Amino acid sequence: MQTVIQTLPGKEHDLGGGFIVRRLLPSAARMAVGPIVFLDHFGPTRVEPDRDVDVRPHPHIGLATVTYLFEGAMIHRDSLGVVQRIEPGAVNWMKAGRGIVHSERKPPDLAQASYQSHGLQLWVGLPQSQEDAEPGFTHTPADRIPAAASDGAEIRVLIGSAFGVTSPVPACSPTLYLSMRLPGGTRFELPPLAQELAVYPIEGRLSIDGQPCPPAHLQVLAPGVTATLRSDGPAHLVVLGGSILDGPRLIWWNFVASSRERIVRASADWAAGRFAQVPAESGRIELPDRRPAWLA
């Protein structure tokens, strides 16, 4: 049986000044892996003092954002009044539910610094029963993320349960998110830990059952199959997935929903200023001018 059933390339976007983001999900070939409907890999990029990397206030519904940094730092602010510095190794879970607004900005202490920015952001679709739930934010510091070791691999269980440990991050449905480091020459057996799984190499040379993994490509694994990972040298990767969502989802701009009506309503509410505001924030990101045919 073929182990890798899809190889999804990252589509690069330059956010300005050479700050590159690679979008792996959603893609034309696949909308989700388990409940994960969105995957962005940003950096590694050198942020200079004159580079504006701030993301102004913008809304979300029907999803949870997961922000995880390898390098750098940012300040999260949201309409619940949460102000949280995000640093490498911590997991930041923001449940949008019926609606939340947030911003991500350069920390004041780094305003005049030159530093490296590198990380991942996921969107996890919420079960239909929680699409209209109250929003929330949970910060789990790096020292509370459980670690495990298996076949020479160093594993951090960011979300979910694997290799005998369970993350405290409050996922809303079965979700798996692992950060793994393999020494050079490692042979690692990755069991089918979830209904759907994918492997994404961050750095280093990796193969799955003898098939080389090209950089910046998401490797979707066949269900129920144990995959043999091999690293030619030191390698860093993430494993992500979980249980399939309870029905199809629509995605437009920052909104995820099981019905068109929810997205229409959220769009109208943002245009009319009916979302809660982020305290002590200014500015906002407006709705895109172009809409898909199904939303027009």
Tell me whether residue 292 is exposed, middle or buried, using C-beta atoms within 10 angstroms of its C-beta: 0 to 12, 13 to 18, 19 or more. exposed
| Number of domains comprising the chain | 1
- Strand, coil or helix: 4: strand
Within a domain: residue 102? yes
Residue 157: beta bridge partners? 178
pLDDT of residue 16: 61
Cα R_g (the chain), whole angstroms: 19
* CATH classification at residue 197: 2.60.120.10
Q: What is the average pLDDT across 73-93?
A: 98
User: Which residues lie below 8 Å from residue 191, measured CB to CB, with a gap of 6+?
Assistant: 226
The 10s digit of each residue's pLDDT in 16-57 is 666 789 999 999 999 999 999 999 999 999 999 988 889 999
H or E element at residue 268: helix 260-272
pLDDT of residue 129: 98
Within a domain: residue 296? no
Residue 14 has pLDDT above 90, yes or no: no
Chain centre distance of CA 61: 15
Count how many Cα atoms sit within 13 Å of the Cα of residue 75 in the half-sphere of its side chain.
Answer: 16
Within a domain: residue 218? yes
Number of CB atoms found within 10 A of residue 65's CB: 21
The answer to whether the beta carbons of residues 233 and 264 sit under 8 Å apart is no
Within a domain: residue 291? no
The answer to whether the beta carbons of residues 193 and 210 sit under 8 Å apart is no
Within a domain: residue 277? no
Residue 268, token pair as written in the block = 């109208």
Within a domain: residue 264? no
What dihedral angle (degrees, nearest 10) is formed by the CA atoms of 162, 166, 172, 174? Answer: 20
DSSP state of 266: H
For 279, phi and psi rounded to 5 degrees?
A: -55, 140
Q: What is the average pLDDT across 2-29?
A: 88
Within a domain: residue 287? no
The answer to whether the beta carbons of residues 223 and 13 sit under 8 Å apart is no
112: left (phi over 0), alpha (psi -120 to 50) or beta: alpha
Q: Please, what is the average pLDDT of the chain? A: 96
Q: What is the average pLDDT across 212-235?
A: 96
Domain residues for the domain of 104 are 4-242
Within a domain: residue 19? yes
The 10s digit of each residue's pLDDT in 116-167 is 999 999 999 999 999 999 999 999 999 999 999 999 999 999 999 999 999 9
For 48, phi and psi rounded to 5 degrees?
A: -95, 160
